[in-house]
């Protein structure tokens, strides 16, 4: 009897131990991903190594193989990246780059696990949201050997942390107002223009909403990402100038949130979550039932294929001022890599970010925009249609708002989304939602 | 003494057979658990390189535990999972029992039923969650359109804070009833048919047979299923992560979802480790309580 009880107690403990199994599955997905890595480099690495095994050149010229991890090429641009690498390898035959392309969904958990385990790649791609967290943890190498001339200065500044350059801007995208021309024609109103404000958008949205029960004027989700931008359009911000205090419930921000909520609750030119019923916002636009959608320039290729109506873009209208989302990915170097690998990695990422060869390959593939200062180099981007008004993408750069990067960026964004979506559902007022977000952020997050 | 030696010999003989799973358990469960204790006393982000000197450098004592227990979030996450358990356990047991009785009825198609009810068990949670997300969609979902045939206006399942958890329970019951059903079915098969014959002769009705013979003799199986499902229920994660991501407005935030979020998206690994240890303690205590309570209703004499 006693033995049996002991055994069953032991069994209980073992079963309870299953809790930790979740943690280990993370490691598993990381290793699976590594197995999927792109092996393009290997054949060339053999020839590069045999070419000059005994060369007495300086250290930097000795053949070296580095690893580079990225998410941006996954889902269609793996070949484009390979092409870039081949061009790079011609110019720098001694540097072999092993490229690992990992889907965005797994990318950051994989990187976290590998860097913590000391098996991170020598250089990697980083998005703007995670950049601050990584830089603050001291795991990125200061980029001293990179030639930053010709790079987009705004983007370059976004990848400084405490005045130190840790990342090079690889590409950029902005958010523009995409609109369904056919619905505007049907409603008999003028197309949006750069002189519009949010009030003009609201008026147009109401006219389009009147076209039918399941036709909506605009979709701008009441989430953190849209909110910090709309707040800026009303002259507000989430943090004070030196990022030492939250200013989430400022008067400007309350007005901004109120205007977002009114579109859902008051005029209903924007569908509620229930009216969306789990449908995606792009799907709604593609179905031809949505007048306007502020969304990223990365939608162009998808909309080109999916929309059987006429559409175009313009710079997103603001209120007291214009404010446009600006997203960029950075190329960073792992501090943990060897000195030789770091030097080679800086050459590779500088080339990838600023060489005209890389830029041309990127543009030819219609991938995204290289973050170059001289937009005349990007002219071939303008020749592709739709949208007709591609110039708006460059015009939108005049009024950009950067994400308010702090160390606990993701947590702040979750808290704010949580609170303001309550207001969007009509469960509380805009003021209550932002007061709540302010006190939650103050309690959970320490600013420097 | 002789008896003890014999038992010891038996254990030694068993070790080689246990080794493969033992190694796995030590490496992937026991070791991480021990490391997690150490981590739970630090403010490690999970990003910096892991080393033993880091543990002493970033040691913050019981700070993580203090914060956890003093913040409402921990208790509300535990509350949500308790709510899930309270809904899930009775419904799941009812349907598992139904499945078991159906399989045991000896009808022609019971082989087919066995396959049909077991298919959801084999489906990965990711696929199942994605399917259920669509099934429960308020506008375009199958579930609500079936309800509307009967004139019932279905709720906005996953987007309404009161209905999101019941929606997740529904998906979980669908997925698990085949598993526990098959277990209970196995238990039913071990009951000596002699008991039923005797009961029939004594003139016992169906209800009396079920409550006086079937359930008591089934109690060891039911007990096992109870412990398993309770532990699994407390680790509720994939269906929440995919179907609601803890929303709407945090109504389906549960401990494992919080642990994952803190560890991998807020970069607070130490805090997450402390959270997972508190969850472990809760499950351990509940399991011990059940082991104690089993004396009252579980009969091993079968």
The ipTM, to two decimals, is: 0.77
Asked whether the beta carbons of residue B141 and residue A12 sit closer than 8 angstroms, the reply is no
Q: Bridge partners of A293?
A: A178
CA angle B52, B53, B58 (to 5 degrees): 105
Q: Reply yes or no on whether the pLDDT at B62 is more than 60.
A: yes
Q: Reply yes or no on whether the pLDDT at A224 is more than 80.
A: yes
Q: DSSP code of A372?
A: B
Which is it for strands A369-370 and A167-180: parallel, antiparallel or unpaired? antiparallel
Q: Reply yes or no on whether the pLDDT at A14 is more than 90.
A: no
B275 half-sphere exposure, CB direction, 13 A CA radius: 27
Asked whether the beta carbons of residue A22 and residue B259 sit closer than 8 angstroms, the reply is yes
Centroid of chain to Cα A279: 22
Judging contacts by C-beta atoms under 8 Å, the chain B residues touching residue A22 are 235, 237, 256, 259-260
Burial class (CB in 10 A: 0-12, 13-18, 19+), A3: exposed
Closest in A12, A14, A277 to B288, CB measured: A12
Nearest-neighbour CA in chain A from B119: distance (Å):
23
Asked whether the beta carbons of residue A14 and residue B25 sit closer than 8 angstroms, the reply is yes
Dump pLDDT digits (tens) for A169-199: 998 889 999 999 999 999 999 999 989 999 9
Quick one: pLDDT at residue A165? 94
Dump pLDDT digits (tens) for A382-416: 888 889 998 899 888 888 898 888 888 989 999 99
Dump pLDDT digits (tens) for A293-342: 999 988 888 898 899 999 999 999 999 999 999 888 999 999 999 999 99
Give the span between the Cα atoms of B301 and A129, in whole angstroms.
61
Question: In chain A, what percentage of residues exceed pLDDT 90?
Answer: 55
The pTM assigned to this predicted structure is 0.80
Interface of A with B in 138-167 (CB under 8 A): 138-139
Question: For residues A173 and A369, is the Cβ–Cβ distance under 8 A?
Answer: yes
Region B128-136 average pLDDT: 91
Closest among A196, A372, A406 to A294, alpha carbons compared: A196
Centroid of chain to Cα A341: 27
Q: Which helix (H) or strand (E) element contains residue B243?
A: helix B238-243
Q: Which range is least confidently modeled, A15-19, A400-404, B282-286?
A: A15-19
Between chain A and chain B, the number of residue pairs with CB atoms below 8 A apart is 134
Question: For residues A330 and A167, is the Cβ–Cβ distance under 8 A?
Answer: yes
Quick one: pLDDT at residue A268? 95
Closest among A414, A329, A302 to A108, alpha carbons compared: A329
Question: In chain B, what percentage of residues exceed pLDDT 90?
Answer: 53
CA angle B110, B115, B116 (to 5 degrees): 90
B237 half-sphere exposure, CB direction, 13 A CA radius: 19
Q: Which range is least confidently modeled, A311-315, A371-375, A396-400, B117-121?
A: A371-375
Dump pLDDT digits (tens) for B193-248: 888 889 888 888 888 888 888 888 999 999 999 999 998 999 899 999 999 888 78
Closest in A109, A118, A408 to B264, CB measured: A109
Judging contacts by C-beta atoms under 8 Å, the chain B residues touching residue A30 are none
Does the beta carbon of A25 lie under 8 angstroms from any beta carbon of chain B? no
Question: For residues A81 and A88, is the Cβ–Cβ distance under 8 A?
Answer: no
Region A424-435 average pLDDT: 94
Q: What topology does CATH give the domain A35-49+57-171+328-382? A: D-Maltodextrin-Binding Protein; domain 2 (3.40.190)
Which residues are CB-neighbours of A399 under 8 A, at least 6 positions away?
A315, A318, A321, A322, A323, A324
Quick one: pLDDT at residue A45? 40
Quick one: pLDDT at residue A19? 39
Which architecture does CATH list for A174-326+388-444? 3-Layer(aba) Sandwich (3.40)
Quick one: pLDDT at residue B3? 61
The 3-state secondary structure of A138-207, one letter per residue: CCECCCCCCCCCCECHHHHHHCEECCEECEEEEEEEEEEEEEEHHHHHHHCCCCCCCCCEHHHHHHHHHH
Quick one: pLDDT at residue A132? 87
Taking phi first (over 0 means left), then psi (-120 to 50 degrees means alpha), and beta for anything else, what does residue B62 get? alpha
CATH 3.40.190.10 residue spans of chain A: 35-49+57-171+328-382, 174-326+388-444
Region B89-100 average pLDDT: 93
Dump pLDDT digits (tens) for A38-96: 444 444 443 343 333 333 344 456 899 999 999 988 877 899 999 999 999 999 999 99
Which residues are CB-neighbours of B161 under 8 A, at least 6 positions away?
B248, B249, B251
- How many other CB atoms sit within 10 Å of the CB of residue B125? 17
pLDDT band for B301, please (50, 70, 90 cuts). Answer: low
Q: Bridge partners of A67?
A: A98
Domains and CATH numbers, chain B: 72-297 (1.10.3720.10)
Does the beta carbon of A60 lie under 8 angstroms from any beta carbon of chain B? no
Give the span between the Cα atoms of A349 and A3, in whole angstroms.
64
């Amino acid at each position: 009897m006693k033995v049996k009880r002991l055994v069953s107690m032991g069994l209980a403990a073992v079963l309870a131990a299953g809790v930790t199994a979740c943690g280990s599955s993370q490691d598993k997905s990381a290793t699976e991903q590594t197995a999927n890595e792109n092996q393009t480099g290997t054949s060339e690495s053999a020839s590069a190594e045999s070419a000059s095994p005994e060369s007495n050149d300086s250290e930097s010229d000795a053949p070296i193989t580095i690893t580079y991890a990225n998410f941006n090429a996954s889902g269609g641009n793996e070949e484009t990246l390979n092409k870039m690498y081949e061009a790079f390898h011609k110019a720098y035959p001694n540097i072999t780059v092993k490229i690992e392309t990992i889907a965005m969904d797994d990318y950051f958990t994989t990187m976290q696990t590998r860097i913590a385990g000391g098996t991170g790649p020598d250089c990697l791609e980083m998005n703007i949201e995670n950049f601050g967290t990584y830089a603050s943890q001291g795991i990125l190498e200061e980029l001293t050997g990179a030639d930053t001339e010709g790079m987009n200065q705004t983007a370059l500044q976004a990848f400084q942390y405490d005045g130190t350059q840790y990342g090079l801007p690889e590409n950029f995208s902005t958010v523009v107002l995409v609109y369904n021309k056919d619905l505007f024609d049907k409603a008999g109103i003028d197309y949006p223009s750069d002189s519009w404000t949010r009030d003009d958008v609201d008026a147009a949205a109401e006219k389009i909403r009147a076209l039918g029960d399941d036709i909506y004027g605009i979709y701008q989700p009441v989430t953190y990402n849209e909110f910090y931008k709309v707040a800026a359009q009303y002259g507000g911000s989430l943090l004070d100038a030196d990022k030492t205090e939250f200013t989430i419930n400022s008067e400007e921000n309350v007005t901004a949130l109120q205007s977002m909520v009114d579109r859902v609750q008051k005029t209903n030119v924007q569908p509620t979550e229930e009216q969306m019923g789990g449908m995606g916002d792009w799907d709604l636009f593609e179905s031809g039932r949505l007048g306007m959608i502020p969304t990223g320039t990365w939608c162009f290729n998808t909309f080109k294929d999916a929309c059987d109506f006429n559409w175009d873009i313009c710079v997103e209208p603001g209120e007291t001022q214009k404010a446009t989302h600006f997203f960029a990915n950075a190329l960073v170097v792992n501090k943990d890599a060897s000195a030789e690998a770091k030097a080679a990695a800086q050459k590779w990422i500088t080339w990838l970010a600023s060489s005209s060869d890389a830029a041309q390959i990127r543009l030819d593939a219609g991938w995204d925009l290289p973050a170059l200062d001289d937009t005349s180099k990007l002219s071939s981007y303008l020749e592709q249609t739709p949208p007709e008004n591609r110039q708006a993408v460059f015009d939108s750069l005049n009024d950009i708002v950067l994400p308010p990067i702090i160390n606990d960026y993701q947590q702040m964004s979750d808290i704010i989304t949580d609170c303001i979506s309550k207001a969007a559902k009509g469960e509380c007022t805009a003021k209550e939602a932002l007061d709540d977000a302010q006190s939650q952020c103050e309690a959970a997050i320490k600013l420097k | 003494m002789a008896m003890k030696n014999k038992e010891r010999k038996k254990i030694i003989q068993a070790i080689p057979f246990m080794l493969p799973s033992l190694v796995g358990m030590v490496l992937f469960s026991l070791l991480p658990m021990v490391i997690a204790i150490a981590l739970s006393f630090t403010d490690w982000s999970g990003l910096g390189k892991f080393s033993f000197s880091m543990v002493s450098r970033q040691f913050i004592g019981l700070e993580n535990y203090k914060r956890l227990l003093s913040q409402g979030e921990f208790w509300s996450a535990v509350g949500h999972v308790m709510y899930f358990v309270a809904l899930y356990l009775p419904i799941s047991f009812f349907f598992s029992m139904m499945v078991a009785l159906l399989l045991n009825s000896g009808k022609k198609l019971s082989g087919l039923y066995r396959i049909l009810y077991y298919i959801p068990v084999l489906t990965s949670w990711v696929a199942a969650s994605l399917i259920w997300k669509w099934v429960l969609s308020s506008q375009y979902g199958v579930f609500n359109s079936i309800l509307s045939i009967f004139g019932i206006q279905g709720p906005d399942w996953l987007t309404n804070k009161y209905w999101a958890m019941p929606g997740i329970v529904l998906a979980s019951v669908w997925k698990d009833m085949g598993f526990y059903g098959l277990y209970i079915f196995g238990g039913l098969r071990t009951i000596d048919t002699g008991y039923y014959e005797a009961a029939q002769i004594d003139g016992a009705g169906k209800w009396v047979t079920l409550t006086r013979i079937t359930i008591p003799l089934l109690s060891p199986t039911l007990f096992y299923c109870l412990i398993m499902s309770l532990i699994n229920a407390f680790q509720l994660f994939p269906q929440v992560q995919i179907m609601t991501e803890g929303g709407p407005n945090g109504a389906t935030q549960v401990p494992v979802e919080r642990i994952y979020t803190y560890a991998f998206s807020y970069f607070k690994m130490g805090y997450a480790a402390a959270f997972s240890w508190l969850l472990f303690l809760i499950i351990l205590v509940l399991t011990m309580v059940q082991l104690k309570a089993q004396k009252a209703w579980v009969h091993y004499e079968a």
